[in-house]
Each structure stands twice: as C-alpha cells, then as structure tokens.
Chain A
C-alpha cells in the first residue's frame, strides 16, 4: 500500500541553524510533491511544490529537494527562527488528469529554540 513517512515526531533546532526534515514514500510514482505548514488548531498552509523533473526548489529561506530514485524529499529551513516552529507536512498526489485529493504524512513537529 502507499505510504508516506516523515522523520521523527519532534525535531529541536537551535535558532539560526538549518533545520532539515525528511519525507520518504513508498508505492507512489508522484508527478509532484508538496510541503505544508500546520500550526496547532489550524488548517495546513501551502509552502512549496516540487515536480518529478525538478531536483531542487527554493523560496526565501526554504529549500526542497526531490529524489525520485530514493523516493525521498528533503525540506530545509535556513537561518531558522522561533516563528518557524510548527508541524511540517509532506503531501503527495498521484499523476494524471483531474484534481485528486492529497495524502499527507503524519508531519514533523519542528521546535526552534531561541
């Protein structure tokens, strides 16, 4: 069956350092992969989308890589700040036409310590 795994339930990082989160998937051939941020009691907020033919994508302090051979995506936050503390979700949708729903990983709870 299809599965998305994200590394550890909580990740503590010192402010100013780079936080790296991992998303591994099995039994998928995704056309693209997405990362979302979710704060407690709130809906997810879209951050980045990376396609299967893209190796890397950047947005301000965020960087995402996508290795379809390893079936893995890495999500980096550079110069991390306490305001970056949240749960980060990896999501996949199968390729093809139409608008399919997303399958999410359980998320990694990131804590940036001052």
Chain B
C-alpha cells in the first residue's frame, strides 16, 4: 500500500515552454501533497505544500507564478513549470501525506526535467 506515482518520469522541453507534472496517490487519499526539487548531489528542497481544495503554500524563494500547483482532488496534485528555462532543469519529486497530521510521507519516483 501507500503508492505514489508521478507522470511523466522524464521530460525534455525547449526553453520558454510549460511543463505539467502529475502526482497521484494510488491507494490512499492525500489531504496534503508536497513538491520537492533536487539538484545533482544536493538535498531535496521543499518547494510548496499543496492542500486539496485550497491554494498551495510556497516556500521562501519559490516563485508561485512560475510553479503553478493545483490539488483538485484527494488523489491528484499537479505542478506546472511555466516558461521553463535551463536553470529549471532538475529532479522534481512529490510526496503525499495520508490525512492531516500524519507523520509519514510517501514519495513518488520523481520526474527528471531537462530544459534545452
């Protein structure tokens, strides 16, 4: 149980285009989902917290107009990287927490984004 999927697993796009990444909890409902970004040999960095039915909360330094998050249902959150640039190339990972206040987060397999 507690499986989280991401789609696509990797994407290559041209600079200036927008890319949408989906995060799904397959066998549980997730009130809260999180989006992280990881650069090579670096730690995962929390970008934003996504709550079903409300606006996402972004970490300091993360542009909310550039990284659009939609958590339309209890099993799906999407991250859209708008007008992507080469510096946005990274490994994007989502996680889901099954219920308010639950301690354990289940992570997706990640999406590798390369912006040319």
Contact = CB atoms under 8 A, between A and B. Distances in A.
Interface in A62-101: 89, 93, 97-101
Interface residues of A, number: 24
A99 B31 contact: yes
A12 to B, nearest CB: 18
Interface in A21-71: 32, 34, 36, 41-46, 49
B112 A41 contact: yes
Interface in B70-116: 91, 93, 95, 97, 100-110, 112
Nearest to B45: A104
A89 B93 CA distance: 15
B100 A89 contact: no
B107 A103 contact: no
B31 A42 contact: no
Interface of A: 9, 32, 34, 36, 41-46, 49, 89, 93, 97-107
19 contacts: A43-B4, A43-B93, A43-B107, A43-B109, A44-B44, A44-B107, A46-B105, A89-B44, A93-B103, A97-B100, A99-B32, A100-B49, A101-B36, A101-B46, A101-B59, A102-B34, A102-B95, A104-B43, A107-B43
